[in-house]
Structure 1
Amino acid sequence: MSTMWFECKIKYRKIDENGGQKVTTEPYLVDALSYTEAERRINEEMAAYISEEFKITNIKVANYAEIHPFENSDRWFKCKIALIAYDEESGKERKTNMYYLLQANDIKEAFDNTVHVMKNTMGEYSITAISESPIIDVFPYFSGEEDALEQLEKFNTLKASRPIQEEEKIDTMEFETEFSEIEG
């Protein structure tokens, strides 16, 4: 089954650079099967990051074909890619557009990352647009059926976009050690 991404907008009080509080609305991306599950998941995820009250102001299906996190990147970029197919009967070129969301630090790096992601594509394509996305963070779904080490690797790859606190690093190392002892 393909992944369905939902863009969820969260409204909450945020402390700005000057130490004052301001109300802000930020979009997040969550992997879910339905609007109801997206609402439940974004509530769980945001409860871990926002200590005060927050409100979900909007949930909509996002039109991303694929999401690609890259380590050491802090911003998300929306890339429009046109797949080019030739209709042999009519002799015309047909383009099908799709959108990728990927991490990078700037537009040039976003372009390079898009080329990297598309390098194994058999057909022709063109990158028609790249723009910075307002998405703050992406929360993929981890099922209990996945291998625990695979889950940890996926989580760490996506989490690389956020600063990791020291206690999180220790917990991850302990988990990896415990997992190796179980396998060995």
Structure 2
Amino acid sequence: MSATWYECKVKYRKTHDSGEQKVTTETYLLDAISFTEAEARINEEMAAYTSEEFLITNIKVANLSEVHPFENSDRWFKSKVSLIALDENSGKEKKTNIYMLVQANDVKEAFENTSQAMDNTMGEYSIPAITESPILDVFPYFSGDEEKLEKFNATEKSENKEESLVEETELK
């Protein structure tokens, strides 16, 4: 099941490093089932983020196929990826564009991270465009549950290895 990503614009009074307060509008990305859930989740996330009043000025469905976070990166880039397929009827190349959000520190690293994200792709592709995104942060839906699932899977694998070792020892 693929996620539906929502871009949420939030307007609030932000205190800058100089101590000066300015009204700013920032964009956040989160996955949700509906606009209603997206609104509820951005309210929850922003309440934890700021004690100031805030206003949600816009929520829209983001045109993104995938989101790829990378460690030690602080900005988000939108990568346009053209998937290249051969049209069997006409014999011509057909390009289908998808958009990915990739975390990186600069455009060069965003290109490398996009290529890394596309490593398991069987077909041909090209990356015709990468632009810095205004998105400040991404809030995935199951962030805590995924860690629990990974720990569960790792524990289960280690238990299976132990069982195999015991069986091998008993056979000898």
TM-score bracket, normalised by the shorter chain, equals: 0.7 to 0.9
* SS of equivalent to 1:42: helix
Distance 1:78 1:149, change over 3 A: same
* SS of equivalent to 1:95: strand
Q: Work out whether 1:10 is the aligned partner of 2:13.
A: no
CA positional deviation for 1:139: 0.3
* SS of equivalent to 2:84: strand
Partner of 2:141: 141
Structure having the higher Rg? 2
Distance 1:46 1:124, change over 3 A: same
* SS of equivalent to 1:115: helix
Partner of 2:103: 103
| C-alpha distance after superposition, 1:3-61 (max 9, x if no partner) | 00000000000112321100000000011000000000000011111111000000000
Give 2:149's aligned amino acid. Answer: E
Partner of 1:38: 38
CA positional deviation for 1:149: 2.0
Query: 1: distance between equivalents of 2:147 and 2:125?
Result: 36
Query: How well do the aligned residues superpose, as a CA RMSD in angstroms?
Result: 1.7
Query: 2: distance between equivalents of 1:56 and 1:147?
Result: 28
| C-alpha distance after superposition, 1:93-130 (max 9, x if no partner) | 11000000010000000000011111111000000100
Partner of 1:19: 19
Structure 1 range deviating more: 87-96 or 22-31: 87-96
Q: Is the 8 A contact 1:8 1:27 kept in 2?
A: yes
CA positional deviation for 1:89: 1.8
Write out aligned runs for 1:1-184 (5 A).
1-142=1-142, 146=145, 149-150=148-149
| C-alpha distance after superposition, 1:134-160 (max 9, x if no partner) | 00000010289x4652378xxxxxxxx
In the alignment of these two chains, the number of paired residues is: 151
TM-score by length of 1: 0.78
Query: 2: distance between equivalents of 1:67 and 1:140?
Result: 9
CA positional deviation for 1:88: 2.0
Gaps of 5+ in 1: 153-184
* SS of equivalent to 1:110: helix
* SS of equivalent to 2:128: strand
Query: 1: distance between equivalents of 2:16 and 2:62?
Result: 28
Query: 2: distance between equivalents of 1:142 and 1:47?
Result: 19
Gaps of 5+ in 2: 152-172
